[in-house]
Each structure stands twice: as structure tokens, then as C-alpha cells.
Amino acid sequence: MAEPLGIALLGCGTVGSGVAHLLLNHAERMTRRAGRPVWLKHVVVRDPAKQRDCELPPGVLTTDLDKVLGDPDVDVVVELAGGTTWARQAALAALATGRDLVTANKALLARHGTEIFAAAHQRGRAVAFEAAVAGGIPIIGAISQGLAGNQISSVQGILNGTCNFILTAMTERGSDYAGTLAEAQRLGYAEADPTLDVDGSDAAHKLAVLVRLAFGMAVSPDDIDRRGIAEIAAIDIRYAVELGYVIKLLAEAWSDGESVALHVSPTLVRKGTPLAETRDAFNAVKVTGDAAGETLFSGAGAGMMPTASAVVADIIDLATGRAQLMFAAQRLWQTDAGQLTVRRSDEVLSRFYLRLTVADRPGVLAEVATLLAMEGISIASVIQHEAPEDAPGQSVVLVAMTHTAKTGRFRAALARINQSDNVREPGVYYPVAD
Ligand code: NAP
Ligand code: HSE
């Protein structure tokens, strides 16, 4: 039997507990798949007195990273702490002391990927990060290996389980936003700071990682246009359903070979399509390549065991040597496609959903249509329900779906519409993915 592979886990929260559970309670399976025993030697945490969701052997839990990195039996450091401060220092220290690195930390990769990957190449080590995007779905392996022969033209996905869990509950059960977010936190889906989930940052971090792999392009998450879900009103969810759509938080990137347009936004997705049918904390990613065509990957996008599944796959790949071979050969995270630029979101073509609260008087619909037409935008359909009989002359809600237009022109039209005396409050709009 080959030498055991020594593992140090940094973090034993939601994901770390799941990984410890798999390594400790399915050791025979791990040995068989890895070709050698996988030995959980250390688990580094902040508070050793805290109750854990897994039972660790005596002497494994510690707060002393230096002591762990001084142990010659540690071959792989698995960073599951989160954040970009201590996690960055620990990841770089692990690589500097000759360890391979596994991480589920998309924020760390999106912000400091270049530094971490350069440090790994310099030391001849590998970084594996299957769990960083889409939880249990092996999307990193799919793009970097399974679709390696393709020129990828687009990546489109539901990449945040927390947001999808909340939007599904609001759409299908009329649940309230705050209560459902608290439930997502209790179930271990949300980030330590759930603002990152609901404001679209977590999806932007994941999109930045996918764009690196799919297009070889370095993009800062700060350069990704994003809107989150906190502002989505129940009325827009209801109108979307009436129109035959559901609202999903989509992360999308399209390349035309010269530039890449990318954004994270609540988007109307037509009911019955695979993305619309992706419910709860599930994720789905659609990748389009010139040879494979459209491919769709779906599965649990967050939570203890689905994420642990991806982390343990990386550990097994390191044990067998597969991960080191791929990492060295692919030179991932090298900016070899530096000629690609970020396309301004104003240039992106889309249809739009627009909800206006307007005065219930003659000529209002014509005025809205005219202001849209001035930017070359035509209306595809309109919903306006009658004002309640006891409130004549009051405001009414006008919902319009447009035909395809440039985002910049749509925004320009909306700015004019918002200035009209007939419009009671700023219009609410979302792109529509057909
Ligand atoms: P979590 O439940 O908050 O656990 C974090 C763990 O890291 C805790 O055990 C904590 O120790 C430890 N830790 C944090 N800062 C530390 C420090 N400075 N020194 C020592 N230990 C420290 O987080 P999680 O949900 O497992 O997420 C971990 C990582 O996986 C994050 O990068 C997250 O984005 C990513 N991820 C999570 C999911 C998911 O569904 N949850 C899915 C995919 C990826 P204490 O327990 O002592 O506080
Ligand atoms: N907070 C993340 C989500 C965890 O909800 O998708 C998985 O990356």
C-alpha cells in the first residue's frame, strides 16, 4: 500500500464538517478511489470549544496553523475557512511550504487567483477548486477538461443556491424574503456574510472563475455589472408568472472572440426551460461550445454534503496525481488571452420587462410607447389591469415586454420615461432570457 496522503483542513464549518465526515466515515472508499489511504491529520478552527457537525478523533482539532504547516506528514491543505484575509495568507503559506492546495473559496480565487496560481506554479504545486463554483456540480472539470476541445462562446447559469432557494420560495409559496434567507442560513447555504449572496457578489465571484476557465480572460469581480435579489418585489414575481416566466438570478457571459459581455442580474426566464425548472438550492450551468454545442449541468449548488463531494473529488485527484498533471499542463489562470476585453453592458442585446406605476388617464400608454420608440425599441406585449372601481383616476400598474434592444438604449428610454409627469415612481426593469 502506498504512503497515506496527509490532509490538513482549514475550517470545520458547514463544508469542513462534510469533508471530515466523508474522510473519516468512508475511509475504505477513499483509499480505494485514491489508491492510498487519505489521512485527516489536522483541522484548524478559530474556536476549538464550538460544537461541530462531525466527530473528530482526539488531537486533530487545533488553532495553530504554524504547527500544522510544520508537520511533514501534511501533503495537502484544504482551505474551507472562507473570506479573503486569513484564507489568503494561509493558502499562500501552504503553497510556500510545499503543499498542494484545495479550496472552495470563490471570493479568494476571484480576487487573488493570479497571485495564488503564480505561487503554486513557482513551487511546482497544484491548486484544485472544484467546489468553488456550483457546489456538487463538477463544472470546473467539465469546462477545463471535458470541453477542452471547444471554443466556448457563452456561459449562463444559476450560480447561487441561496438566491435560488429564496426566489423559488417567493415564487411558488409566496414566502417572505427575510424568513427564507434565515432558513437558507440555517441550512448552511449562505455565506458567513449573506450580503454576498443576495447582492449578486457571490455569483459574480463564481462567474469571474468560470470566465477565466472558459475564455482565459482575467476579469475583476468589481468589473462585473451586478444586481442582487433583495429589491425584487412580490408584484414583479407575480407579473412574471402571468407572462409565462419566473425570475431567476442569472450569471451570464458571452464572447464574440474579441470581447466578453458579462453580468449578474435577476432575469425573467421562460417557464418550462431547464433554467426556469432549477429550483431551491440547485444550480444549473449552460455552456455553449463550437464543437459540443449546448451542454447543461445541474445539481445541488450549495450545502454540506454536495460541496464536500466536490472537495473530496479534488483530494482524490491530488492523491492519484491527476490534479497535478492537469494543473501543470493547463497553466490555468495564466492570462494568455489578454486581448479579450470586457464589453460595456450598454452594448448587450436583450428583451426587457418593464413595470411602471402611471396615472390612469388617456395617452399614457401612447407616451410610454413613443419614448421607447425614440430609442428604436418596440413593445411586444402589455398588461394593464383595470384600476379598482372605488379609486378612479388613481395610479395603475403598466407592464410592458419589449422586443430585443441594446441595454444602453433601453436605459436611456427609461430615464426619459421616469421624467414624465404621468409616471408616479421609477420604473422597475429586468432583462428577459428567451
Ligand atoms: P462556515 O460554516 O462559516 O465555516 C468556516 C470555518 O472556518 C469555521 O470552522 C471557522 O472556525 C473556520 N475559520 C474561519 N476563519 C478562521 C480563521 N481565521 N482561523 C481559523 N479558522 C477559521 O463556512 P462554510 O459554509 O463551510 O464555507 C467555507 C468555504 O466554502 C467558503 O469559502 C464558502 O464560500 C465556500 N463554499 C461554501 C458552500 C456552502 O454551501 N456553505 C458551498 C460552496 C463553497 P470556527 O468554526 O471555530 O468558527
Ligand atoms: N453561498 C453559496 C450559495 C454557497 O448559496 O450558492 C455555494 O457556493
| Residue 386 pLDDT greater than 90, yes or no | no
Could you write out the DSSP letters of every residue in 305-356? Answer: HHHHHHHHHHHHHHHHTHHHHHHHHH-TT--TTTT-EEPPGGG-EEEEEEEE
Query: 3-state class of 171 per DSSP?
Result: helix
pLDDT of residue 255: 94
The closest residue, in CA terms, to atom 28 on ligand 1 is: 80
Residue 206 annotated as catalytic: yes
CATH code at position 48: 3.40.50.720
Cα 57 to averaged position of ligand 1 atoms, centre (Å): 20
Same domain, 289 and 168: yes
Query: CA–CA distance from 27 to each of 15, 68, 378 (Å)?
Result: 18, 22, 62
Same domain, 315 and 375: no
Supply the range of the domain harboring residue 92.
Answer: 5-133+306-330
Cβ neighbours of 143 (radius 10 Å): 24
In this structure, what C-alpha cell is assigned to residue 180? 427564507
pLDDT of residue 311: 98
Cα 83 to averaged position of ligand 2 atoms, centre (Å): 13
**Mean pLDDT of the region 406-431:** 97
The mean pLDDT of the chain is 95
- Set 50, 67, 106, 206: catalytic member: 206
* Length of the chain in terms of residues written: 434
Q: What atom of ligand 1 comes closest to residue 48's alpha carbon?
A: 47
Same domain, 147 and 265: yes
Same domain, 89 and 18: yes
Cα 268 to averaged position of ligand 2 atoms, centre (Å): 21
| Residue 389 pLDDT greater than 80, yes or no | no
Using one digit for the tens of pLDDT, what is the confidence trace for 151-188?
A: 999 999 999 999 999 999 999 999 999 999 999 999 99
The closest residue, in CA terms, to atom 43 on ligand 1 is: 135
Which listed ligand is nearest to 201 at the C-alpha? 2
- The residues with which 428 forms a beta bridge, in sequence order, are 355
CATH code at position 188: 3.30.360.10
Contact 98, 28 (CB under 8 A): no
Same domain, 297 and 318: no
Residue owning grid cell 410592458 = 400
Query: What pLDDT band is residue 2 in, cutting at 50, 70 and 90?
Result: confident
Whether residue 157 has its Cβ less than 6 Å from ligand 2: no
Using one digit for the tens of pLDDT, what is the confidence trace for 97-107?
A: 999 999 999 99
Q: What atom of ligand 2 comes closest to residue 104's alpha carbon?
A: 8
Separation between Cα atoms, residue 405 and residue 400, nearest integer Å: 14
Same domain, 167 and 279: yes
What is the number of domains present in the chain? Answer: 3
Which listed ligand is nearest to 159 at the C-alpha? 2
- Dihedral angle of Cα 178, 182, 185, 189, to the nearest 10 degrees: -50
pLDDT of residue 345: 85
Which listed ligand is nearest to 129 at the C-alpha? 1
Separation between Cα atoms, residue 74 and residue 94, nearest integer Å: 10
Separation between Cα atoms, residue 19 and residue 16, nearest integer Å: 5
| In a domain? residue 286 | yes
| In a domain? residue 92 | yes
**Mean pLDDT of the region 322-328:** 93
Same domain, 119 and 158: no
| In a domain? residue 335 | no
| In a domain? residue 341 | no
Same domain, 177 and 317: no
Same domain, 201 and 245: yes
Using one digit for the tens of pLDDT, what is the confidence trace for 256-304?
A: 989 999 999 999 999 999 999 999 999 999 999 999 999 999 999 999 9
Separation between Cα atoms, residue 144 and residue 159, nearest integer Å: 18
pLDDT of residue 340: 84
| In a domain? residue 361 | yes
CATH code at position 403: 3.30.70.260
| Residue 339 pLDDT greater than 90, yes or no | no
Same domain, 292 and 152: yes
Cα 190 to averaged position of ligand 2 atoms, centre (Å): 6
| In a domain? residue 11 | yes
Residues with CB under 6 A from ligand 1: 11-16, 44-47, 50, 80-82, 86, 104-105, 131, 135, 188-189, 191-192, 302-303, 307
Contact 408, 347 (CB under 8 A): yes
Using one digit for the tens of pLDDT, what is the confidence trace for 200-255?
A: 999 999 999 999 999 988 899 999 999 999 999 999 999 999 999 999 999 999 99
Cα 227 to averaged position of ligand 1 atoms, centre (Å): 25
| In a domain? residue 232 | yes
| In a domain? residue 337 | no
**Mean pLDDT of the region 311-332:** 92
* Dihedral pair phi/psi, residue 51, rounded to 5°: -70, 135
Same domain, 143 and 287: yes
The closest residue, in CA terms, to atom 1 on ligand 2 is: 190
Q: What atom of ligand 1 comes closest to residue 14's alpha carbon?
A: 26
pLDDT of residue 329: 83
Closest CA to 97 of 128, 60, 123, 67: 123
Cβ neighbours of 331 (radius 10 Å): 11
Same domain, 251 and 119: no
Pairing between β-strand 259-270 and β-strand 423-433 as defined by DSSP bridges: parallel
